[in-house]
Amino acid sequence: MTRIAIFASGSGSNFQAIVDACQQGRLDATPALLICDKPKALVIQRAEAANIPSFVFVPKNYESKEQFESDILLQLKEHEIDFIVLAGYMRLIGSKLLSAFKGRIVNIHPSLLPAFPGLDAIGQAVKYGVKVTGVTIHFVDEGMDTGPIIAQASIEVNSTDTAETLQKRIHEIEHDFYPTTLQQLFSIKGETITR
C-alpha cells in the first residue's frame, strides 16, 4: 500500500478528508506522516487525533530551504514514504525534495490552472468576475502551480458569491475530488512507485 506524507500549513481540512478516505477504504493508501511548517496549525491536532506522526519545523530557524528540506527528507526516509501529497502547504518545494521524489509529489489548487496560480486564487477569481472556476490537482515542479495537470473539476461562480462563499463551495469539491483523484493516480502508478 502506498505510504503518503501529507504536507500542510493550516487547518487541515484536506488532510482530514484524505485521512477519512483512507480509513473508509476509499483511498488505498496509508497516511504515514504529517509535515507542517506552522507549529500552531490546527492540522497538527488533526494528526494527533488520527495517531499520525508529525514533523513540525520553523523555517526561519534554518539557514536555507535546503537545510530544512534535508531534515524533511530524513523524516520521509525514516517513515518509508512513497508519495508526497500537498494539502494547503504554503511553500514552494525545493530542488532537494523534487529530485528525491521526482514525479511523486502532487498538489491541489483552488482554481482552474493555469488561471490564478499562487496565493488567494479564490479572491482573484471573484475580483476578476469569472463565471467558472474550480479545482486543479497537479504534479509539482519548480514553479508556482506550474506542474503537469492530473485532473480538474469546475464550479460555476454565482453573481452573489463572495470569496468566503465560493471558498466554502470549492472546499466541498476538494474534499471528495482529492481522495478520488489520488486513488486513481495510485492505482495507475501502482507498480511504478518505488522507494
The pTM of this model reads 0.93
User: Which fold, 2-192?
Assistant: Rossmann fold (3.40.50)
Parse the chain into domains and list their residue ranges: 2-192
* pLDDT for res 188: 79
* pLDDT for res 190: 54
Using DSSP's 3-state secondary structure scheme, residue 89 falls into coil
Q: Would the pLDDT of 2 be above 60?
A: yes
Q: pLDDT per residue over 32-67, tens digit each?
A: 999 999 999 999 999 999 999 999 999 999 999 999
Q: pLDDT per residue over 66-106, tens digit each?
A: 999 999 999 999 999 999 999 999 999 999 999 999 999 99
* pLDDT for res 187: 87
Distance CA 83, CA 60 (A): 26
Exactly one of 79, 109, 138, 171 is catalytic; name it.
109
Distance CA 173, CA 153 (A): 8
Q: Would the pLDDT of 195 be above 90?
A: no
Counting residues of the chain whose pLDDT is more than 90, the rounded percentage is 95
The amino acid occupying position 172 is E
Question: What percentage of the chain's residues is helix, strand, coil (to nearest 5)?
Answer: 40, 20, 35
The amino acid occupying position 135 is V
Q: Torsion over CA of 104, 140, 162 and 170, rounded to 10 degrees?
A: -20
Write out the three cell numbers for 3. Answer: 505510504
Q: Would the pLDDT of 182 be above 80?
A: yes
Q: Would the pLDDT of 191 be above 50?
A: no
* pLDDT for res 104: 96
Q: Clarify whether 109 is annotated catalytic.
A: yes
